[in-house]
Amino acid sequence: MTFVFPPDQHLVIATEKRVLSWSGDGTATIFTSGSSGILAAKEATDGSSTLAVADSQVVVLHDLDRGMDRSYRLKGTDV
């Protein structure tokens, strides 16, 4: 049996250097890191196309529709 991705769904995959989206159309890179430091990525569930990508000290909010980034540095015990 061959797996068929539901047409209205996708999966966000985080690696050290990239965040990818896997859907019925295949895979697409949606964010890259020059520092090889991606620890986690999470897409907003409100349909806003916002993606949060984090390393050990910085969280980047990436707007998939507009291509805009905002960075937030974590301090001390803000884990």
C-alpha distances (whole Å) from 1 to each of 4, 9, 14, 65 are 9, 19, 27, 35
| Structure-block tokens of residue 68 | 């805009």
Q: What is the pLDDT of residue 77?
A: 45
pLDDT along the chain (79 residues), means of 10: 83 90 89 82 83 80 74 54
Q: Can you give the residue ranges of every domain in the chain? A: 10-73
Residue 51 has what pLDDT?
84
pLDDT value of position 8: 85
